[in-house]
């Protein structure tokens, strides 16, 4: 008999009625109310920071909507101190939201399950006619629902805070494709949150040790986050522009991936192959020597924001569903 198998009821007694899932959820909320209050505090703190920065920028004395303190339209751009400070705080806001989602999986969802399995308190719930499936479902539903709700609010507030900075000409870290902002401006952050909860639950059920399951969850989530962050540009086909020179080939909103020249046969010669040239003239000569004829650039235009967001979200949700399925399968195997 597995250590996770509850004692069988006496055959002479009638089987008690099943406790509904709603009741199990109320138990989780009551037992872990301190963690819930801490999460609510972080939510209020995040909203307060963004609102304070936005109000600070709105009250600063600037001549232009993009935060320029010099006359609009000239060649000089001097950002206000409020604008620069807000950019410093918001430039990595998306990364902070991803880390927050991961922390929920590592420090809340995982320990919520692993602690009960490690201490044996799960037997009390199972002895009160809470089935193992309902027991696990309640401990998945509570952090998942609260995390998605809280992060949805934070994403909306974060986008509102970024709106005032979007017009700045010298804010590369705030561009739509920047690693520090992209995950936190769309539905992908909700995918990260659900994956964190699912991975935390799976590691808890498999390992059944709180600290070890937390460490394993952190490693898995870090691998997924780094993998998607470094290969995000591959999630949607890039656009190739050619036949134009200089600024006409690239636009300010483009995510520039690669560039170079096309040969007469249509093959591509990349600029990185001529890094040794050392000057613009040297680059051109190197490319011509390799047969380059027509300049080209591979880019993700701003219109690719939503396709990239939705594909990344779909990948995360698929991984989360797989982790949840595996967690229930493992629990059923141990229970049987």
- Each residue of 101-138: b (16+ CB within 10 Å) or e? bbebbbbbbbbbbbbbbbeeebbebbeeebbbebbbbb
Cα 260 to Cα 293: distance, rounded to the nearest angstrom: 10
What's the confidence (pLDDT) of residue 229? 92
Q: What is the pLDDT of residues 232-252, one digit of tens each?
A: 999 999 998 887 655 567 777
Tokens coding 305: 């924001």
pLDDT of residue 220: 93
Report yes or no: 177 and 191 within 8 Å, Cβ to Cβ: no
- So what's the pLDDT on residue 114? 75
Tokens linked to 250: 């690239």
| φ/ψ (deg, to 5) at 134 | -65, -40
Query: Residue 14's pLDDT is what?
Result: 43
The confidence score (pLDDT) of residue 16 equals 45
Q: Are 309 and 188 in contact (CB under 8 A)?
A: yes
In the chain, which stretches have pLDDT less than 70? 1-33, 35-36, 39, 60-78, 120-130, 164, 166-173, 244-248, 276-281, 335-336
| Three-state secondary structure call for residue 301 | coil
């Amino acid at each position: 008999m597995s250590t996770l198998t509850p004692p069988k009821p006496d055959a002479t007694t009638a089987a008690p009625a099943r406790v509904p899932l709603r009741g199990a959820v109320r138990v989780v909320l009551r037992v872990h109310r301190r963690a819930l209050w801490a999460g609510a505090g972080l939510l209020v703190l995040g909203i307060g920071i963004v609102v304070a920065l936005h109000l600070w920028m709105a009250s600063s004395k600037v001549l232009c909507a993009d935060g320029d303190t010099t006359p609009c339209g000239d060649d000089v751009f001097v950002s206000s101190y409020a604008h620069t400070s807000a950019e410093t705080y918001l430039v990595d806001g998306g990364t902070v939201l991803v880390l927050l989602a991961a922390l929920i999986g590592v420090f809340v969802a995982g320990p919520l399950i692993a602690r009960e399995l490690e201490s044996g308190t799960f037997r009390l719930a199972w002895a009160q006619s809470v089935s193992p499936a309902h027991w696990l479902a309640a401990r998945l539903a509570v952090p998942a629902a609260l995390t998605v709700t809280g992060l949805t609010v934070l994403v909306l507030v974060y986008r509102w805070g970024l709106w005032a900075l979007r017009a700045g000409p010298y804010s590369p870290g705030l561009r739509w494709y920047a690693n520090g902002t992209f995950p936190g401006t769309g539905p992908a952050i909700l995918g990260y949150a659900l994956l964190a909860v699912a991975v935390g639950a799976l590691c808890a059920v498999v390992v059944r040790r709180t600290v070890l399951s937390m460490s394993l969850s952190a490693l898995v989530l870090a691998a997924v986050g780094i993998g998607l962050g470094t290969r995000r540009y591959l999630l949607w086909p890039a656009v190739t522009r050619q036949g134009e020179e200089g600024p006409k080939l690239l636009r300010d909103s483009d995510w520039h991936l690669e560039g170079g020249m096309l040969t007469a046969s249509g093959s591509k010669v990349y600029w990185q192959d001529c890094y040794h040239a050392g000057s613009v003239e040297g680059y051109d000569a190197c490319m011509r020597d390799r047969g380059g004829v027509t300049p080209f650039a591979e880019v993700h235009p701003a219109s690719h924001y939503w396709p990239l967001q939705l594909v990344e979200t779909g990948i995360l949700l698929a991984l989360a569903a797989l982790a949840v399925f595996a967690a229930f399968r493992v629990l059923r195997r141990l229970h049987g």
